[in-house]
Structure 1
Amino acid sequence: MIHPPALIKKQRLLLYGSLALITMTIVLGLGMGYSSISYDRLIPTLLGQGTFKEEFVLFSIRLPRIVITLLAGMALALSGAILQGITRNDLADPGIIGINSGAGVAIAVFFLFFPIKAGSFIYLLPLVAFIGALITACLIYLLSFNRTGGLQPVRLVLIGVGFSMALSGVMIVIISSAERAKVDFIAKWLAGSIWGSDWPFIWAIVPWLALLIPFTLYKANRLNLLGLGEPVAIGVGVSVEKERIVLLLTAVALAASAVSVTGGIAFIGLMAPHMAKALVGPRNQLFIPVAILIGGWLLVMADTIGRNVIEPDGIPAGIMVAFIGAPYFMYLLLKK
């Protein structure tokens, strides 16, 4: 599809601007924290010329956590963009419609009742979260689908919110009889605390993103056609249900891989696509790359602010995002 040169230029400027914003936020986050590092020592430390303390704080604590939040924010933003496209509902988000809750229940059951070695646990988490999120997404999809009218966007959000609340109740029942240490982990996960803040967690999430981001960009034109409605999509030869299922699986996999290492974080998938559409328009080829970078920046910024507000534990990133996202969700709900 041919896009106006002015719009392409605007998108590139926004991509460069987003990358610059992400870089500045990362630099800011690397120096801030319970054990601060002087900003004039960041480059020498990155080049291996820092003290033991500086290198430990930077490479073992700060840098892996920031990379995890950046990747997870990107995954959640892309997941939200796909869900909004296939449902034609601007309120769709993996956290709001219950997909994250489904992943959370699966992780809780796996963590509490299936003891496994720590090395394997890290890499199995995204797969376990995907299974839980997929079961939830399938149930929501089936209950939202009408044989005569097809997928009902408003119905999907309402059923998704109901599933989210029901699964939160299931989570409470599951952890009510668990050991105190394990309950603490689940509680932190529910609050959206970035718990997977080590390099192995990065290697666990990177393959999912490396595969699914290019695949989604390849499917961008299909998302454009689905957004025009079923009659138009069928008229140009799109297999609507097949494409929806494939893209739904993609969205679920992205959300599951993110929340498996960050905990239950909502609203990133709602806000980032909307902000990108407002800047470059609704064409998926144009706004998806921008949305991915905005989502990464939002979560990095939320985590950076949250962990420095109250020391030493800080406020979970999920709560910080909710402070912004919940009013934004209400605004969209009233507007649309």
Structure 2
Amino acid sequence: MLLTTFISLTTGKMSLSLGEILDVLFGAGTDRNETIIFQLRIPRIVPAILIGTVMGLAGAAMQTLLRNDMASPGTLGISAGSGLFVMLVIAGFQVTSLPSRFLLPALAFIGGVTAALIIFLLAYRRQSDLSPTSLILTGVAVGMGNNALSLIRTTRLNRSNITPKQVPSKIQKAPESSKDNSRARSLLNMVRSRGLEPPRLLHH
């Protein structure tokens, strides 16, 4: 981690030497180097270290809970629940009052906790231990459901963003048959330009 941090501090569009970095840290650096270190590189390095640490802890917790060395938060569908909750809140309620750097992590945390509670409630059975197998199966099912809901919502958002003004009038008024014929002619010309003989079926 120390080596990666050192490389991140020294390399970039404007490379800095070890001496220049030490001068900046001890208050003897130039304004340009201070801007590069304190405003550009350190604000990226510190969150990367924290996020990597948290992801490692989450993976270790999942592996211990499920008794599986390949387990991760994505195995139980917790990550999918976080993404779904963020998308539903932002798209449904159009929340714009808080900056995204505060809003998105909070929404993702709430969605992940909610998904985890749902999975544990569905996998729990009275008078029996909570087995890793039931957790994994329930988590996979809930994760697939969350992914499906996210895909449906994303598709609807993409369709709603396309307005008639964004589509040329010629394309709107062109019948399907003319568009199909135009595509067929384009494909036929491309085949002929490469010196190939198109199948006879395309001539009709």
Normalised-by-shorter TM-score class: 0.5 to 0.7
Aligned to 2:97: 117
State the Cα RMSD in Å.
2.8
Contact 2:5 2:45 in 1 (8 A): yes
**Post-superposition offset of 1:138:** 1.5
The 5 A counterparts of 1:143-292 are 143-178=122-157
Of the three residues 47, 70, 93, the one matched with 2:72 is 93
Is 1:45 the counterpart of 2:24 in the alignment?
yes
Shift in CA distance, 96/38, structure 1 to aligned 2, threshold 3 Å: farther
Aligned to 2:34: 55
Secondary structure of 1:49 counterpart: coil
Contact 1:107 1:128 in 2 (8 A): yes
Shift in CA distance, 62/145, structure 1 to aligned 2, threshold 3 Å: same
Contact 2:65 2:132 in 1 (8 A): no
Shift in CA distance, 145/91, structure 1 to aligned 2, threshold 3 Å: farther
Identity %: 33
Shift in CA distance, 53/162, structure 1 to aligned 2, threshold 3 Å: farther
Of the three residues 76, 82, 95, the one matched with 2:61 is 82
Q: For 2:26 and 2:156, locate their aligned partners in 1 and report how far apart those are by CA, in whole Å.
A: 48
**Post-superposition offset of 1:70:** 0.9
Q: For 1:69 and 1:144, locate their aligned partners in 2 and report how far apart those are by CA, in whole Å.
A: 34
- When the two structures are superposed, what TM-score results if normalisation uses the length of structure 2? 0.64
Q: For 2:43 and 2:111, locate their aligned partners in 1 and report how far apart those are by CA, in whole Å.
A: 26
Aligned to 1:134: 113
**Structure 1 residue runs without a partner (length 5+):** 1-21, 183-336
* Cα deviation 1:98-143 (Å, max 9, x = unaligned): 1122111122223333332344x43343332222112211222123
* Cα deviation 1:36-91 (Å, max 9, x = unaligned): 33333211122333333322222222111111111112112222323333444444
* Cα deviation 1:160-192 (Å, max 9, x = unaligned): 23333332332232233447xx9xxxxxxxxxx
Across the two proteins, how many residue pairs are aligned to each other? 159
Contact 1:91 1:157 in 2 (8 A): no
Q: For 2:109 and 2:134, locate their aligned partners in 1 and report how far apart those are by CA, in whole Å.
A: 23
**Structure 2 residue runs without a partner (length 5+):** 162-204
Contact 2:66 2:136 in 1 (8 A): no
Greater relative contact order: 1 or 2 (C-alpha under 8 angstroms, separation 6 or more)?
1
Shift in CA distance, 44/123, structure 1 to aligned 2, threshold 3 Å: same
- When the two structures are superposed, what TM-score results if normalisation uses the length of structure 1? 0.41
